[in-house]
Chains A and B, each alone.
Chain A
Amino acid sequence: MKKEILHDQVFSVHRYRKLLLMLNWIFALAFLFCLDVSASSYSQNVKVSLNLKDVSLKKAIYTLEQKGKTRFLYSEQLLPQDRQITLNVNDVLLLDVLNTMLENTNLDYRVTDDGLVVIAPKGAVIKNIRVKGKVVDNNGESLPGVSIKVLGTGTGTVTDAKGQYEISVPEGASLIFSYIGFVSQTVPVGTATEINITLKVDEARQKLNEVVVVGYGTQRKSDLTGSVASLSGKDLDKTPVIGADQMLQGRISGLQLTQSDGQPGSPTSIRIRGTNSINSGNEPLYVVDGFAGVGNLTSINPSDIQSIEVLKDASATAIYGSRGANGVILITTKKGKAGQQTINFDAYSGLQHIAHKIPLMDATQFGRYLNEYYTEYNAANPSTAKALPYTDAQIAGFGTGTDWQDALYRTAPIQNYQLSFGGGSNESRYYLSLNHFDQDGIMKGTGFRRELVRLNLDRNIGKKIKMGFSSQISYNVQAVDPTITGVGYGAAGGALSMSPIVPVTDNTGAYTFANAPSAYVGTYGNPVAGVELATDQITNARGLINTYGEYEFIKGFKLKSSIGIDYNNAGEKSYLPTTIYIGQQTSGAAYSSNSVSYSWLNENTLSYSKVFNKIHAIDVIVGFSLQEFKTKAFSTAAQGFFTDNLGTDNLALGANVLTPQSNTYKNTIASYFGRVNYRLMEKYLFTFTMRSDGSSRFGLTSKWGYFPSGAFAWRASEEDFIKNIKQISDLKVRLSYGVTGNQEIGSYQSLSQYAINSYSLGTTPSRVVGVAPNNISNPNLSWESTASFDLGTDFGLFNNRISITADYYRKTTSNLLLNFSIPQSSGYSNILLNAGKVQNSGFEIALTTRNVEAKNFSWTSTINYATNANKVLDMNGTNNILVGTTGSYIVTNGLAPSILRIGQPIGSFYGYHFDGIYQTQAQITAAGISGVVPGDAIIRDVDGNKIINGNDREIIGQAAPKFIYSINNTLSYKNFDLSIFVQGVDGNKILNLTKYAHSGGTSANEYTYMADAWNGPGSSNTVPRVFSSSIHNAGVVDNYLEDGSYLRLQTVSLAYNVPVSQKSRVFKSSTVYFTVQNLYTFTKYTGYNPEINSYGAQNLNAGTQNLNPGSQNLNLGADVNSYPPSRTLLLGVKLGF
């Protein structure tokens, strides 16, 4: 095939007349270029058989080339038009035949040493000219090592480190520029002496040869048998993100990201292919530069990331064994590249503001509401009647009052600066980056700051030894709302609760102290004063270092050993001054804590890689690793401060020093693992993986778990019958099955523990220390195991203009680490068991289309779509377990909002149906329900026994979406890049506890719709009378369960690549961009943010150190007084030097 192309090219030179004049030179210079002796002997020795009758010389020569498979170089114009050839030869030397054809013309031929047959006028001389130039890529970066060959010969050169070359070529010849990963270009030299070339990336081929990071190694993407999604380079650089986890949002099919609130620096929660576990952790395993078990990504600088791989199925994750069941996220940071010295400076700066406010009553509305409430209260409770809080005249003077949301939230700045240096030689390479990130939160007093230095070094010692070092030192400071006392209790809730009649500051300019009038409304401190006057700073200093050495002791055999340390020093300091409400309660309260957690990891692998007989490629890796996590923490607190001056910096000032706490815990993992990859004829791919993990966390009898997987893939596009279908550029079918595990429970859970408590004894009481049993032990506690099946395909059409990755999977998690509720007559609320099964199945598709690829305009779209169906199959024989909490927002806090039920998904909301409002007493009498009056809610009497109780609850909605999707469009026009990123979820419900808290009662400000509450027959069938507690009394009622579907215009980014002269000695590249994040959300949800999981932080098992995770794991889809998300506008610049 290749030869034919070359052959065609030969004819393109024929229009150059001067060629033949210079032809003779070829003989003189040939020795300089000729490398391929065998080829010349080939053209001299090849024999042909021909039968020609009255054909033109042109046709005859062409036929001879075909038959002899030999390249001729000549100009068509030189061939005599009138000459007719008739020949019949059998097995005659090609050159003899040519000789015969050229008889009686003025043409002669010569054979160069590399087999090129040159036909030229007799006695002609060919001149060589020197050509030089520079080869660059699309971005103007010089390309070193580009191969340059003279067409039709074996001669050539390569570009130097600056991308420059110089070559001597016969005038009229052509040059072929080729470089791995780029489309080759053939350029006729003509008489030009300088030829500069811009090579285009060969996306189709690059895609095929793209290397992705997998567990303990790398693989060609085309060789993958498992489901691995990869983001790299330009995907990641396109738009600025605040945290590394945000890079994943909407860009990986089957990955869902939610946040517990909009607080800057708060971790997000990630689910890959649904929720596997009921009580154990569901977060994926994070691996940074080979270091597994990195708690979360908050302190990873997104700009340092070279690539992110998300391993989804068992074939990909089984190598991580007991930690692979929830998927694995591999982060690879940037490394220096040999021969390139780069300096990059990125900076952006922007503003954030609240994206959406909740409609609450103004002062006049709330005044009227309170009066209405107490009017109804007095009618119902004459013996404890109270005066109405306000007179009509007072209410008339209220106006709109205070908008506490406006008072608490602000337009907040955000900025990021990044300076990086990269480069090196073949022997040693470096990457150094410095980062400063500073984000103020939209809530006053909150924010997040990060300082980070990363240094990555790689060194080759000789050809057999490699060593490397990747490290980061970071320091984060997160300023959080200091007044938070529990989920939903804090300034965000305060702003929704404070009476709008109360001003932010009094007439002296001082903050008003608390909500008023007391005894009529809830007792809260001024939330603005809280966040402005109190402080709560969470700091984290982290050193994450991983080093490795690799020794190739026999060709193909590599021994690699790595040692890494992740050291975290975290602290929190908070101070509540006496000048704010919750500070006054305790005369000032100071809290200080510190925890040092470190983990070390040692991994040792032996790998072997070899191709046998050209068709059997084998890659084997075996290894063992040891890892230890240890945390030591202490905290101390004091109250009763006579001055607020020193805050947390001198706790001894507090009159009341509280009991200090300290804690140390440790867990360890030991592992053996191995993997065999076998590739047959580039078509059939097999992977077998086995890992054996021992974890300290499990019972004495069940420390070790075994996790095998196998996978097969067929690269159908390598089969001849598909190769012939031009439309199909790539087709692979993958099939995998395997078992992975989950060990994410706290340490020591299998042991019987006595917890420490205390009591007061003595005439003048003093503290005595007590001890009490804390759990029911389970020495058989063991792994959760997930058996997963994946059938997938990678499909490329039209030269990969359209590429599709689609997967169907089914995972069954059994031996669940189930926090099983037991009767509390035991004195315990639950026991941790291995029992039960959960199934997840789903379909994922990622579709990338390169819609337009014109010279000045290109447009690429990526669509991700994923469904997941979750089903509880077994729970230790129980059909129903009630789970979750609503805090006290639904006052019946003994009642859980969700149920685990066999056959139903995790996250099934469980409660009552709201069927409107009783309008008349007659209606109530007819219904036969007691304890309600007109204006109360109709709670559906499901069992029809005329009593509304727990038996009338049903599953009323699902917290998990039916599907999640995203669409990313990237458009380039000349120097402009536009990126539009849309993502959404569909089919989920959110339990809007915020609405619960602000609909009815007098403890908080109310939603404006409460002004339209029922006040007589026919007045409302949706909002009960103001004084009604019929809904709150019942518990979770479905009129507070809202559709959580949304479509969010997440990011719009416009970039302009400022043209940089190739001669510029300073700049290599320069881009300015403008980005809007969270531009608009299409949703019916009435809270701040449908992408919410208020109890989400409790669903995390970040850090793998959580002593008692789990019990809140199932509190999905609740929104309670959350920190609202912001809309962010950024202006940035990227400069390359």
Chain B
Amino acid sequence: MKIKILMAGVIVALCLASCKKFLTEQPYSFLTPTNFYKNKGDAIAALNGVFSTMQPQTFYQRTVYTVSDNASDLMYAAPGSSTDRNSLTDHTFASVNGEIGNWYINNYKMIKNANDVIKYVPPISMDQTDKANIVGNALFLRALGYFNLMTAFGQVPLITEPVTAADPNLYPKKASIAAIYDQIVSDLQYAEANCYAEKNIVAGDKGRVSSGAASALLAKVLLTRAKSTAAKATDSQDALTECNKVIGDTGSYGLLSNYADIFSSDNKYNKEIVFAVRFGAAPNVGNIILRMFYPTVLGGYGSFFIQNNFFNNGFPSGARDIRKTYSVSNQAVDSKGVTQAVTPFCYKFKDSQWHQDNNSRSDWFVLRLAEVYLLQSEALNNINPADPNKFNGINTIRARAGLNLPTDQFNLTNTPTSDNFVDVLLAERARELCGEGQRRWDLLRFGKLKSAMAAVGVTVDDNHLLFPIPQSEQDVNPNLR
């Protein structure tokens, strides 16, 4: 009997000894800090992880234009389709608006992933140039996130390190506008200095942040700051310098002669693209942009339409402006080849392989060379409204759109004042960039949102110029109330 009890005791003791191992969790299907950030491959994968946050519908597939073009005088959401969308059109949105929440949350997700790369890639032992490029890419994306947030919400929390459970940054206060700009500018300066020039990015890496992309975004940021309470005297001049760097890098960038070629999914990442959110690699990474913009006749959902005012009055040159016939339309050819009249819609993005649903391959353009030309004009007007060179950029863009008659071109005679210039610049930006998620921010930058919306019958009160911090965020963070 004693032997049996002894044996039982031995079994128990054996188990005790092996229990610790038995209870240790072994991860099978995911990486942990113990087995990650060890080499260049890890660093690249982590950077891809930052880029990846841009692809969801709730960010650069849908929300980006829902909170910009849809909340401007260019587009409106299908009536009765969604309070989130309709209230943005109508400027009756509240802090509970889901799309506003998406814009806030996803920018911070991108910033969170970028912060991880910025902190954990530098200690990796690898080629210094590659490493600086990777960190530069992450810094650019972080800057983009903060720029998106600040233009939409104004003051927001500024977080530049990975947040841990015990971190005071878990419950941050809002940072000052000036501090956010400083961070964005310094991030972009690093990116500009350390990212590869576009011409040096290999074909398989197209879509990474280039030095030129950092310059272009920096130009836009500085021009936005120039109009803000945090303006610095040198902003416009600095912005001009950045624009010139991009336009001057002809090895990397160039305007396409045919406007339609820019948007074709068969001509991806062409020379006009400075930075885009990439879609279209099989499998799983198409987008719903076409579905949202196209009417049901073309297989879309008809979720957003072009405002009649813009469709009818936005292109005073009529069909001579390529963009009038290319970018917007009030008719569509159905699957039986019959042309049908439809509510005006944005027909800019095209994909020869798309039929229906969520799989269009179109990239989403964040920065395009044409815009840099327009930014250059804007900077010159800021610096010296009397400088006739300020028309070069805008006229180049108009000429490319087919408006190359002398009467089509702007000059100090037909556009004498700075305000006149701003009006034509904004109208030109609308024609060139409609449907590309710019309009609301353009109008805000120039303080023209209220008047522009009044033209489409929408009254905008002061509370609806900036978006409210999402209600869910206010609910959990007392420091934001």
Contact = CB atoms under 8 A, between A and B. Distances in A.
A763 B363 CA distance: 11
Most buried by B among A386, A757, A828: A757
B301 A523 contact: yes
Interface string A660-688: 00111111101000000000000000000
Q: What DSSP secondary structure best describes chain A's contact surface?
A: mixed
B170 interface: yes
Contacts of A217: none
A344 B204 CA distance: 70
B207 interface: yes
A1036 to B, nearest CB: 10
Given A761-B206, A761-B207, A771 B36 contact: yes
B98 A626 contact: no
Interface string B260-284: 0000000011000000001111111
Interface string A633-671: 000000100000000000000001111001111111010
Nearest to A382: B457
A384 B79 contact: yes
A822 B172 CA distance: 11
A753 B32 contact: yes
A519 B295 contact: yes
Interface residues of B, number: 112
A752 B33 contact: yes
B355 interface: yes
Interface string B123-163: 00000000000000000000000000000000011010011
Nearest to B355: A587
A823 interface: yes
Shortest Cβ-Cβ A-B pairs, 8 listed: A827-B112, A770-B48, A772-B49, A585-B357, A664-B28, A770-B49, A765-B281, A760-B281
B111 interface: yes
B76 A823 contact: no
A523 B296 contact: yes
A381 B79 contact: yes
Given A771-B49, A827-B111, A1029-B86, 4 more contacts: A559-B8, A587-B355, A696-B25, A773-B113
B234 interface: no
Nearest to A826: B163
Interface stretch (B50-58, B180-188, B317-325, B388-396): B50-58
Contact of B31 (A373, A771, A893): A771
A658 B285 CA distance: 9
B358 to A, nearest CB: 7
B52 A585 contact: no
Contact of B207 (A762, A774, A777): A762
A553 interface: yes
Contacts, number: 300
A833 B165 CA distance: 10
B358 A585 contact: yes
A825 B473 contact: yes
Interface of A: 373, 377, 381-384, 386, 518-519, 523, 553-554, 559, 584-587, 604, 606, 624, 626, 639, 656-659, 662-668, 670, 694-697, 703, 747-748, 750-774, 776-778, 821-829, 831, 833, 880-882, 888, 891-896, 931, 949-950, 1001-1003, 1029, 1032-1033, 1035
Interface in B15-40: 15, 19, 22-33, 36
A1104 B100 CA distance: 36
A906 B105 CA distance: 27
Given A658-B283, A825-B477, A1035-B96, A757 B49 contact: yes
22 contacts: A383-B307, A518-B302, A519-B302, A604-B8, A604-B11, A662-B29, A666-B26, A667-B25, A756-B30, A760-B55, A761-B208, A763-B269, A771-B48, A773-B162, A774-B30, A823-B170, A825-B473, A825-B477, A894-B101, A896-B472, A949-B94, A1003-B81
B169 A826 contact: yes
A807 B164 CA distance: 45
Contacts of B282: 656-657, 767
B381 interface: no
Contacts of A553: 1, 4
Contacts of A586: 356-357, 359
Interface string B447-481: 00000000011000000000000111111110010
Most buried by B among A523, A559, A626, A758: A758
A758 B284 contact: yes
B365 interface: no
B8 A584 contact: no
A216 B160 CA distance: 55
Given A760-B278, A823-B473, A769 B48 contact: yes
B80 A1001 contact: yes
Nearest to B309: A383
A696 B113 CA distance: 28
Contact of B46 (A554, A771, A894): A771
Interface string B206-240: 11100000000000000000000000000000000
Contacts of A1035: 96
Nearest to B174: A825
Given A381-B79, A754-B31, A761-B278, A823 B284 contact: no
A513 to B, nearest CB: 12
Contacts of A604: 8, 11
Contacts of A747: 25
Contacts of A771: 31, 36, 42, 45-46, 48-49
A764 B79 contact: no
Given A666-B26, A892-B83, A770 B156 contact: no
B82 interface: yes
Nearest to A779: B165
B12 A624 contact: yes
Contact of A748 (B19, B25, B51): B25
B171 interface: yes
Contacts of A519: 78, 295-296, 302, 343
B206 A763 contact: yes
B217 to A, nearest CB: 19
B80 A1003 contact: yes
B28 A763 contact: no
A776 B301 contact: no
A754 B32 contact: yes
A959 to B, nearest CB: 20
B409 interface: no
Contacts of A767: 281-285
A827 B48 contact: no
B471 A950 contact: yes
Nearest to A557: B1
A754 B30 contact: yes
A757 B163 contact: no
Contacts of B307: 383-384
Nearest to A774: B30
A666 B156 CA distance: 41
Contacts of A656: 282-283, 359
Given A518-B302, A662-B29, A1029-B86, A891 B98 contact: yes
A761 B111 CA distance: 20
Contacts of B169: 826
Given A765-B278, A770-B49, A823-B476, A753 B31 contact: yes
A827 B109 contact: yes
Contacts of B23: 668, 670, 694-696, 703
B92 interface: yes
B108 A824 contact: yes
B79 A880 contact: no
A388 to B, nearest CB: 13
A894 B470 contact: yes
B294 to A, nearest CB: 12
B405 interface: no
A758 B96 contact: no
Contacts of B83: 891-892, 1029, 1032-1033
Nearest to B265: A765
A115 B96 CA distance: 94
Contacts of A896: 472
